Structure 1
Amino acid sequence: MRAAWVRDPSNRSFSIDAKASHANAGAAESWFPGGPIVSGEYLDDHFIGSNLGYTTYQGAISVPLWLPGQGTATMRSALADEAVSRARINVQRLLVAVRVLDLASSATLLQKKIGNLRATSTILQRVVHSAQDGLRAGEIASSDFDAVVGEKGDVDSRIAEAEQALESTRAELEALTGSDDIPDILSLDGRILGTQRLALDPSRDPRLIMASALVKSAKASYNLARHSYMPNPTLGVQVTKQGQYGSPWDTQVGAQFSVALPSEARNTPIVMKEVKAMGAAERDATLAKRKVTVEYRQTRARLSSALVMLKHTNTARQALDQRAADLERAWRVGEAPVIEYLRARRSALESGQRAAEADVIWHAAMIRMSLMAGNYP
Structure 2
Amino acid sequence: MHFKPVARCRLSLLCGLLIMLSEPFPHGAQAAELSFQEAINIAWKIDPVRLNLLTNQHSANARAGAADSLFPSGPVVTADYFTDKTLGSRQGYATWQGSFSVPLWLPGQSEATVRVAQAESATVQERLDVERMSLSVRLLDATGAVVLARRRQTNAQRQFQTIQKLAETINTMVKTGEAPSTDKNAIDAELASARSEVENAAEQITVASATLAEILGRKDLPNILSYDTNALRKARLNPSQLVPDNDPRVRAAHMAVVTAEEGMHLAQKSFMPNPQIGISAIRDIQFGSPWDTRTGVTLNIPLPSDAQNIPLIANARDKLAAAESEESQARRMVRVELAQVRARLTAATATLTNTKASVEALNKRAADIEQSWKLKESSLVEALRAYQGAYTAMLSLDQAETAWHVAVARVFIAAGHLQ
Name which of structure 1's ranges 259-268 and 299-308 shifts more when overlaid on structure 2: 259-268
Structure 1: distance between partners of 2:59 and 2:212: 32
Report the number of matched residues. 377
Matches within 5 A, 1:239-250: 239-250=281-292
How far off its partner does 1:287 sit? 1.5
Matches within 5 A, 1:228-239: 228-239=270-281
How far off its partner does 1:111 sit? 1.3
Equivalent in 5, 8, 13 of residue 52 of structure 2: 13
Matches within 5 A, 1:207-218: 207-218=249-260
Q: 1:229-253 CA deviation, whole Å, 9 max, x = no partner?
A: 3322211111111111111111111
Q: Does 1:107 align with 2:146?
A: yes
TM value normalised by structure 1: 0.93
Aligned to 2:245: 203
Q: Does 1:360 align with 2:402?
A: yes
Q: Does 1:325 align with 2:367?
A: yes
| Kept after mapping to 2: 8 A contact 1:242/1:251 | yes
Matches within 5 A, 1:39-50: 39-48=78-87, 50=89
Aligned to 1:149: 188
Equivalent in 122, 139, 148 of residue 83 of structure 1: 122
Q: Does 1:304 align with 2:346?
A: yes
RMSD: 2.0
Equivalent in 67, 72, 93 of residue 132 of structure 2: 93
Structure 1: distance between partners of 2:127 and 2:302: 39
| Kept after mapping to 2: 8 A contact 1:117/1:349 | no
Q: 1:26-56 CA deviation, whole Å, 9 max, x = no partner?
A: 2222221011111111111112262212111
Aligned to 1:161: 200
The DSSP-based 3-state class of the residue aligned with 1:237 is strand
Aligned to 2:377: 335
The DSSP-based 3-state class of the residue aligned with 1:187 is coil
Structure 1: distance between partners of 2:313 and 2:160: 70
The DSSP-based 3-state class of the residue aligned with 1:67 is coil
Equivalent in 278, 283, 286 of residue 328 of structure 2: 286
Q: 1:42-87 CA deviation, whole Å, 9 max, x = no partner?
A: 1111122622121111000011111222212211110110111110
Equivalent in 94, 98, 110 of residue 71 of structure 1: 110
Structure 2: distance between partners of 1:217 and 1:317: 56
For structure 1, the residue ranges without an aligned partner over 5 or more in a row are: none
Runs of 4+ aligned residues of structure 1 deviating over 6 Å after TM superposition are none
Structure 1: distance between partners of 2:124 and 2:145: 31
Q: 1:266-318 CA deviation, whole Å, 9 max, x = no partner?
A: 33333323322222222221121111111112212222222222222112212
TM value normalised by structure 2: 0.84
Q: Does 1:27 align with 2:69?
A: no
| Kept after mapping to 1: 8 A contact 2:156/2:201 | no
Aligned to 2:11: none
Name which of structure 1's ranges 229-238 and 325-334 shifts more when overlaid on structure 2: 325-334
Aligned to 1:222: 264
The DSSP-based 3-state class of the residue aligned with 2:225 is helix
Letter matched to residue 54 of structure 2? S
Q: Do the aligned partners of residues 269 and 152 (structure 1) sit closer, same or farther apart at CA in structure 2, a change above 3 Å counting? A: farther
